[in-house]
Structure 1
Amino acid sequence: MPKNSSRNSSSGSASGSASGSASGSATGSSQLVSLSGDQLRAHFRAQRRALSEAQQHASAQQLAQHFTRSAAFHHAESIAFYLAADGELSVDCLLAAALAAGKRCFLPVAEREDCSMRFLRYEGDLSSLVANAWGILEPASSCEAIAATDLDLVLMPLVACDEHGNRLGRGKGFYDRAFDFVRTPSASENPPLLVGIAHECQICPTPLPYESWDVPLAAIATPTKLLASKLLASSTPIYLTFHFLLACLKTLAILLYK
């Protein structure tokens, strides 16, 4: 799905950590506001690519250490993960912890023809994965599938995000299509919790552009913290649907339960 390059004017802030800081980048908040969607992608990709291998490894371990203590992790039985690429924050350590805990783990399978996405079971055998058209490893088509509506927790990769839950992906709309049902109250009684996984340097200090079809995040997990997004603070109708109210309540419970 196309991404709009228009932008809101309000601003927020992001804190720094071992994984970098958006506010400390060469491009300031005022400059970010004027960037198009593709320019924003280029900027934040450069930010995460600048992280050293040691920083990436440490961040992945820190993420697993704190996220496995959250209620989001403990209460989830079926979890969608991803295999990091192009500097994305790795969830490999978290995936290993989930497998060890007996949770049902799934990986996305992207269909290039129609930009749709399926989720297939992964049980820890790397040799069972096959490379897709972009060179990213995926489960074989013979693996057990799960409907997106049946997932409890979805860990989503991203290029950038903001404190309102807006997510900037690669621009093809795979995740927006897969989880479009959360915007329809009758589609699922218990929608999955959508959590964006980000280095600190991927949190944009100003609101990102979004379209009506974009599915925002309920929470953002960095190497050091789990943040509830400001979904209820927005006046945009997409944020006021029944499912996002439920997602926000879930997120609040997670943060209080930690």
Structure 2
Amino acid sequence: MDKVNHQLNKAELRRTLLKTRQSISVREWREKSDRLCSHLQNSTLFTQAKTILAYFSFRQEPDLSPLFANTQYRWGFPRCVDKYLCWHIWTPKDSIQSGTYGITEPHPDAPILDAAEVDLILVPSVACDYQGYRLGYGGGYYDRLLSLPQWQTKPTIGIIFDFAYLSQIPIEPWDKPLQAIFTETGLTQKG
């Protein structure tokens, strides 16, 4: 497949899936998100972690906020700084602000989280496929993060709704598969 066609397919797929996701009723979105949270907090990958990188739901991404009040975990959230993600420690009592792209993020003064402290990364995704590959939003933030040596060995879980779990998505040579995918129906371990 030529590169232009490939990119077009990726953009088209992203657009279609985002439209589908945003058409879910708030009640259904809440129910699916709660089911996903409940599967996630019962998984070994999750329960064995101490410091977890997460995200604040944006444009009807699965909402993981019910998990954030659990104080047995230390939570890290991203801020977009230039072309990279900078991770900050955050608790529900800390302030948040609207950052790049209108995405909620921790205050820039929040303590920075070092890669060495992180046990698990929950990766927001537009879609994931059965091989563990992820379709992101097109900014490359997570691709850049996961290609850095200090992040490459961290367990990663793609977080999506079931309709966005596809048999195959277009991938780039630099794409790396995630360790696992979670939807509202539970865990789907790759390979």
Aligned-residue offset at 1:123:
0.9
Q: Which aligned runs of 4 or more in structure 1 are off by greater than 3 angstroms?
A: 3-7
Aligned-residue offset at 1:149:
4.5
Among all aligned residue pairs of Structure 1 and Structure 2, give the percentage whose two residues are the same amino acid. 29
Distance change in 2, residues 1:208/1:122 (3 Å) = same
**In structure 1, how many angstroms separate the alpha carbons of the residues matched to 2:118 and 2:141?**
16
**In structure 2, how many angstroms separate the alpha carbons of the residues matched to 1:167 and 1:42?**
15
**In structure 2, how many angstroms separate the alpha carbons of the residues matched to 1:109 and 1:4?**
31
Unaligned runs of at least 5 residues, structure 1: 8-34, 231-258
1:81-100 equivalences in 2 (<5 Å)? 81-96=54-69, 100=70
Counterpart amino acid of residue 221 in structure 1 = F
**Matched residue SS, 1:145:** coil
With the length of structure 1 as denominator, give the TM-score of the two structures: 0.68
2:142 corresponds to 1:175: yes
2:9 corresponds to 1:6: no
**In structure 1, how many angstroms separate the alpha carbons of the residues matched to 2:49 and 2:36?**
17
**In structure 2, how many angstroms separate the alpha carbons of the residues matched to 1:155 and 1:163?**
17
Task: Decide which moves more: 156-165 or 60-69.
Answer: 60-69
**In structure 1, how many angstroms separate the alpha carbons of the residues matched to 2:4 and 2:124?**
19
1:59-74 equivalences in 2 (<5 Å)? 59-74=32-47
Q: Which has the larger radius of gyration?
A: 1
| 8 Å Cα contact 2:89-2:112 kept in structure 1 | yes
Please list the CA deviations of residues 6-36 of structure 1 after superposition, one character each: whole Å capped at 9, or x if unmatched: 39xxxxxxxxxxxxxxxxxxxxxxxxxxx61
Q: Residue in 2 aligned with 1:213?
A: 174
2:188 equivalent among 211, 227, 232: 227
Please list the CA deviations of residues 55-103 of structure 1 after superposition, one character each: whole Å capped at 9, or x if unmatched: 111011111212111111111001001011112111111223xxx2421
**In structure 2, how many angstroms separate the alpha carbons of the residues matched to 1:141 and 1:130?**
9
| 8 Å Cα contact 2:55-2:78 kept in structure 1 | yes
What's the RMSD between the two structures over aligned residues?
2.1
With the length of structure 2 as denominator, give the TM-score of the two structures: 0.90
Aligned-residue offset at 1:148:
3.2
2:126 equivalent among 143, 150, 159: 159
Counterpart amino acid of residue 173 in structure 1 = G
**In structure 1, how many angstroms separate the alpha carbons of the residues matched to 2:40 and 2:101?**
29
1:1-258 equivalences in 2 (<5 Å)? 6=6, 36-96=9-69, 100-111=70-81, 113=82, 115-125=83-93, 128-181=95-148, 187=150, 191-205=153-167, 207-230=168-191
Structure with bigger strand share is: 2
Aligned-residue offset at 1:164:
0.5
Higher relative contact order (CA 8 A, sep 6+): 1
Please list the CA deviations of residues 128-178 of structure 1 after superposition, one character each: whole Å capped at 9, or x if unmatched: 111113221111121111133531111111111101011010111100111
**Matched residue SS, 1:179:** helix
| 8 Å Cα contact 1:150-1:192 kept in structure 2 | no
